[in-house]
Copies of this chain bind each other. A is one copy, B any other.
Amino acid sequence: MPYINIKVTKEGVTKEQKQALISGATQLMVSVLNKVPSTTFVVIDEVETDNWGIGYDQVSVLREKK
């Protein structure tokens, strides 16, 4: 019954990449912990770059600096 929550910045994650995250995270639970896939949930949260900070700064500002 695992529940996996993946939070990433909202920067163009495609539907195919989301599918790859879901199947990869589910497979990890099966391989490492022998969990049942049919009751394994994966929820992806995409966070605006203005709303994510690291090292005092907004990611949106860090991206502009690069």
Residues of A within 8 A of B (CB): 1-9, 13, 15, 17-29, 31-33, 35, 37-47, 50-61
11 contacts between A and B (CB under 8 A): A15-B58, A17-B33, A23-B57, A24-B32, A25-B53, A26-B53, A28-B28, A37-B56, A39-B39, A42-B53, A43-B52
Number of copies: 6
Residues A8 and B22 in contact, CB atoms below 8 Å apart:
no
- Contact A55:B26 (CB < 8 A) given known A3-B43, A43-B7: yes
Q: Which residues of B contact A15 (CB under 8 A)?
A: 50, 58, 60
Which listed residue (B7, B21, B37) contacts A28, Cβ 8 A? B21
